Structure 1
Amino acid sequence: MSHHVPIQKFRPPPPKERTPAPDVESEEEEEETKAVCGVEDLKDGEMMEVNVGDHTVLLARCGGEYTAIGNQCTHYGAPLSRGAISGNRVRCPWHGSCFNVKTGDLEEYPGMDCLPCHKVKIKNKTVYVSVNKKLARQGKRIKEMGTRVSGVLHTVLLLGGGSASLVCAETLRQEKYGGRIIMVTRDDLLPYDKTRLSKVMSVQSDTILLRRMEFFHQYDIEVWLRKEALSLNTEKKTVTFNDGLTQCYDQLLIATGCRAKELDCPGAHLENILMLETPEDARRIHYSCIGCQIVIVGTSFVGMEVASYMTDKAIGITVIGSTELPYQRTLGPEIGKLTMKMLEEKGVKFYMNDSVTEIRGENGKVKEIVLKSGVTVPANVLIVGIGVIPNSEFLKGSPIALEPKNYVIVDKYMRTNVTDVYCAGDVTSFPLKMAKDHRVSIGHWQLSQAHGKVAAMNMLHKEVELNTAPFYWTVLLGKTIRYTGYGEGYTELVVKGKLEDLKFLAFYIKNNEVVAAAGLNFDPAVSVVAERFAMGKVITKSEAESDDLSWLKLPAP
Structure 2
Amino acid sequence: MSGIVVVGAGQAGFQAAASLREAGWAEPITLVGDEPGLPYQRPPLSKAYLAGKSDADALSLRPASYLAEHRITLRADTRAAGIDRAARRLRLGDGESLAYDHLVLATGARNRALPVPGADLDGVRQLRGLADADRLKADIATAGRITVVGAGFIGLEFAAVAAARGIAVTVVEATARPMARAVSAAMGAFFRAAHEALGVRFAFEAGVEAIEGENGRATGLRLAGGERVAADLVLVGIGVRPNQELAEEAGLAVADGIRVDTLLSTDDPAISAIGDCARFPSPFAQGLSPDGSVRIESVQNAVDQGRSLAARLTGRPAAYAAVPWFWSDQGRHKLQIAGLTAPEDASVTRGSGEAFSVFRFRGGALSGVESVNRAADHMVARRLLAAGTPLSPEQAADPDFDIKALAMRPT
Provide Cα deviations, 1:288-331, integer angstroms capped at 9, x if missing partner.
12342111000110001111111122531110001000111111
Match of 1:273 in 2: 124
Alignment of 1:78-477 (within 5 A): 153-200=1-48, 201=50, 202=52, 203-290=54-141, 291-403=143-255, 405=256, 407-436=257-286, 438-477=292-331
TM superposition shift of 1:551: 3.0
| Change beyond 3 A, Cα 1:239–1:172 | same
Among candidates 493, 499, 502, match of residue 354 of structure 2: 502
In 2, Cα distance between equivalents of 1:449 and 1:490: 29
Q: Percent identity?
A: 26
- Write the letter of the residue equivalent to 1:279: L
TM-score calculated relative to the size of structure 1: 0.69
TM-score calculated relative to the size of structure 2: 0.93
TM superposition shift of 1:397: 2.9
Q: Is the 8 A contact 2:285 2:294 kept in 1?
A: no
| Change beyond 3 A, Cα 1:553–1:281 | farther
TM superposition shift of 1:545: 2.1
5+ residue gaps, structure 1, are 1-152
In 1, Cα distance between equivalents of 2:201 and 2:151: 12
In 2, Cα distance between equivalents of 1:208 and 1:398: 33
Partner SS, residue 493 of structure 1: strand
Match of 2:409 in 1: none
TM superposition shift of 1:349: 1.1
Q: Is the 8 A contact 2:16 2:310 kept in 1?
A: yes
Q: Is the 8 A contact 1:231 1:240 kept in 2?
A: yes
TM superposition shift of 1:553: 6.4
TM superposition shift of 1:196: 0.7
Q: Is the 8 A contact 1:237 1:248 kept in 2?
A: yes
TM superposition shift of 1:271: 0.4
Q: Is the 8 A contact 1:413 1:455 kept in 2?
A: yes
| Change beyond 3 A, Cα 1:286–1:397 | closer
Aligned length: 398
| Change beyond 3 A, Cα 1:489–1:322 | closer
Partner SS, residue 193 of structure 1: coil
Partner SS, residue 375 of structure 2: coil
Provide Cα deviations, 1:480-535, integer angstroms capped at 9, x if missing partner.
0111011125431100112xx11111101111111000112223111011012112
Q: Is the 8 A contact 1:204 1:279 kept in 2?
A: no
5+ residue gaps, structure 2, are 407-411
Match of 2:379 in 1: 527
Q: Supply the RMSD in Å over aligned alpha carbons.
A: 1.6
In 2, Cα distance between equivalents of 1:204 and 1:553: 41
In 2, Cα distance between equivalents of 1:396 and 1:509: 36
Q: Is the 8 A contact 1:524 1:553 kept in 2?
A: no
In 1, Cα distance between equivalents of 2:390 and 2:82: 44
